[in-house]
Chain A
Amino acid sequence: MSTHSNSKIEWPLWEIFVRSKQGLDHKHVGSLHAADAAMAIENARDVYTRRMEGISIWAVESKNIHASNPDEAGSLYDPANDKAYRHPTFYDLPNEVEYM
């Protein structure tokens, strides 16, 4: 958006991912600004884990995230819809079969 004459370069934006406990995936929690990766992790600790929400933090500079285009969601994900045979419920098993 518009910038004004007296503005300097902003600290880059980082996306923050937090692992809430051992055994779970890191999950996106939000973003923040920091001069470098070390500061991003320190700030993320203060901003996103003040109440033991996490035990591990990933910080990724936002410009390095590549996203799929929502306008292509139709063509990208639709073909999965007509492949019901990918799901176990597609198959009728004889009643005698247990534990499958």
Chain B
Amino acid sequence: MQNQQDVLFQNKVDKEIRIEPKDWMPEKYRQTLIRQISQHAHSEIIGMLPEGNWITRAPSLRRKAILLAKVQDEAGHGLYLYSAAETLGISRDEMYHQLHTGKAKYSSIFNYPTLSWADMGVIGWLVDGAAIMNQVPLCRSSYGPYARAMVRVCKEESFHQRQGFDILYTLGKGSEAQRKMAQDAINRWWWPSIMMFGPKDDESPNSIQSMKWKIKRFSNDELRQKFIDVCAEQVKVLGFTLPDKDLKWNETRKHYDFGEINWDEFWQVIQGNGPCNKERLEARKKAWTDGEWVRDAATAYAAKNKAA
């Protein structure tokens, strides 16, 4: 019986029929989605911290307004995704609990510090750029609520990437000090950005099942290559370089070759030993604890009004 349901389910997925919350689904499909969507939501929420760091120090009112709007969008992305995950039967509080206790992961990129204003440019261009590369195929993910949330997210992301590119383009036309600052930011963020696509395909065992269920549409390495190809060209327009001496166009592959990724660093950061892991989680927990009286007051106020 279980088996027959599995077959019916796979048939639906193969026919590109979206799975909706009340439909039967394999438990493993549900759990995989809960993990992936909540992890994604946590990344959007934690992702506000490195950029939030520069809102008060943006160089102009225009840049400040843009950065504020961008960070607010990320909060929105977190909320769309949390509510998509909730349709699978996990509560919001449970997801927060998993984040705050370190049980749930978020994208390791947000455990790096934002040292200069140029980092705002690089995050928009590379980090949001990599996120878009990952997320566009998720708009066709087999789970309806996730796919719909991703459509909304993707619509908003392209502004994020462009505002980042615009910051770097402006710095590129600036003083020697500004150009140096931008190049330094690119040098620090490049490798962590291409790690955002996750481990190599042969070290990513869950990927095969996720592709079969059409939760994922492309492999980590495919997306990484696509991203590198695009950035290798865009960096020329900016007038900067990427910090990889092995980066070279390969005429036979019709792709850029690139250097060895430091996977040891990747796993270290995931395991909690990145430069800012502790700081990020502390900031998140503090926001949750400091907001407790507000949540309590609103609950009490609503109860009082209901009784009246």
Contacts and interface: CB of A to CB of B under 8 A. Distances in A.
B74 to A, nearest CB: 12
A70 B302 contact: no
Contacts of B305: 36
Interface in B211-238: none
Given A1-B91, A11-B295, A50-B76, A70 B97 contact: no
Nearest to A10: B93
B298 A7 contact: no
Contacts of B306: 36
A24 B225 CA distance: 43
State the main secondary structure of chain A at its contact with B: loop
B302 A31 contact: no
Interface string A1-45: 111100111110100000000000000001111011001000000
Contact of A36 (B76, B83, B302): B302
Given A9-B299, A11-B295, A35-B299, A47 B92 contact: no
Contacts of B299: 8-9, 11, 35
Which of the four size classes fits the interface of chain B? 20 to 34
B86 interface: yes
B79 interface: yes
Contact of B302 (A3, A30, A35): A35
A69 interface: yes
B149 A11 contact: no
A4 B79 CA distance: 22
A46 B69 CA distance: 11
Residue from B22, B83, B152 having most chain A Cβ neighbours under 10 A: B83
A50 B73 CA distance: 8
Given A30-B80, A30-B149, A7 B301 contact: no
Nearest to B292: A8
A14 to B, nearest CB: 10
Given A11-B299, A31-B86, A35-B301, A2 B94 contact: yes
A39 B94 CA distance: 22
A90 B186 CA distance: 65
Given A1-B89, A4-B97, A50 B79 contact: no
Contact of A10 (B20, B92, B296): B92
A63 to B, nearest CB: 13
A9 to B, nearest CB: 7
Contacts of A47: 76, 79-80
A93 interface: no
A67 interface: yes
Contacts of A39: 298, 302
The 7 A-B pairs with the shortest beta carbon distances in the complex, nearest first, are A35-B298, A36-B302, A35-B302, A31-B83, A1-B90, A7-B93, A70-B22
Given A1-B91, A39-B298, A70-B22, 7 more contacts: A3-B91, A7-B93, A8-B296, A36-B305, A36-B306, A39-B302, A50-B69
23 contacts: A1-B90, A3-B93, A4-B97, A7-B93, A7-B97, A8-B295, A9-B299, A11-B295, A30-B148, A31-B83, A32-B79, A32-B83, A33-B92, A36-B298, A39-B298, A47-B80, A50-B69, A50-B73, A50-B76, A67-B22, A69-B22, A70-B23, A71-B24
Interface of B: 20, 22-24, 69, 72-73, 76, 79-80, 83-84, 86, 89-94, 97, 148-149, 152, 156, 295-296, 298-299, 301-302, 305-306
